[in-house]
Amino acid sequence: MSGLRVVPTWRHGQERLYVCLTDGRNIAWYDREAARVNLLSEDRREDVLDVLGPFLTGPVAIGPPPVPTPAELARLSLHPDDDLAPNRPGEALQVALDRDPGPAHRLRPDPRRRALAAEQTVGDALDRLDGAGWHTLHSVPLPGGDRIHHLAIGPGGLFAVHTVYARKQRVTVADPMVTLGRREPTALLRRVRADADRASYALTAEVHPVLALVEPADVSVTAPLRAARVLTDAEVAGLARTGGVLKPADVEALHAMARDRNTWVRV
């Protein structure tokens, strides 16, 4: 037995099969779309091809990866359990609902499902920026049970996005208070800034706070906001129009750091 295992990953509909050692380190990966097996070491070439055998379709090129960047090497060295990149939008809520779906019949919809729908809407919009040089991580865990709903990293900088379900509600923003419909105002912008500050500390880079409101009937901002943005889900894609802050290599390096779960354990 070679002791190797194959771990499939999906990102934006593209599949890669990573070959891992028993300690979780990656030593090769199969890119089905490119029909190529990339080897980080020739020492285990035959073992890698043997374990990938059932997955290979047609002829494939075999060899070292094409000049990996430091960011790519950092990603490949991650244990799969520590890699946040595969997280789906609303990952934490989906896991919670799978563990405890709640009563089958209830008078009011489960608020977790509304929150999940909101995170999926915003997360999907952010994921579509991938072709414009952006990366987005979802459900980034923070100590104490908190999490950053979405962390977008791209040419325009870094943005910690907090998502709120606001369908058909009038939203009033009076920094730091946010009022949804007839509910009591909450200091939501204070929470959004705190998340961004923790991300800035973890990544040693400026992270901008963003509050994303999903399907509001109307949004009223009563005064200029202090170092924060309030966007609707339809406006989230506009982040792609910001640029000139980070070079592609900086984006990749920050993404490699941010996707490592261990980056967030002391913030």
What token pair was written down for 167? 């369908």
Of 267, 260, 266, which Cα lies nearest the Cα of 24?
260
Burial of 218 (0-12, 13-18, 19+ CB in 10 A): exposed
Q: What is the pLDDT of residue 9?
A: 81
Q: What is the pLDDT of residue 254?
A: 92
Q: How far apart are CA 92 and CA 95, in angstroms?
A: 5
pLDDT of 47 = 92
Report the pLDDT value the prediction gives residue 136, as an integer from 0 to 100: 97
What are the pLDDT tens digits along the chain (267 aa)? 578 999 888 755 567 888 988 877 888 889 888 889 988 878 889 999 999 999 998 889 998 877 656 666 676 678 888 999 999 999 999 999 999 887 766 667 889 999 999 999 999 999 999 988 999 999 999 999 999 999 999 999 999 999 999 999 999 999 999 999 999 999 999 999 999 999 999 999 999 999 999 999 999 999 889 889 999 999 999 998 887 889 988 998 899 999 999 999 988
Burial of 119 (0-12, 13-18, 19+ CB in 10 A): buried
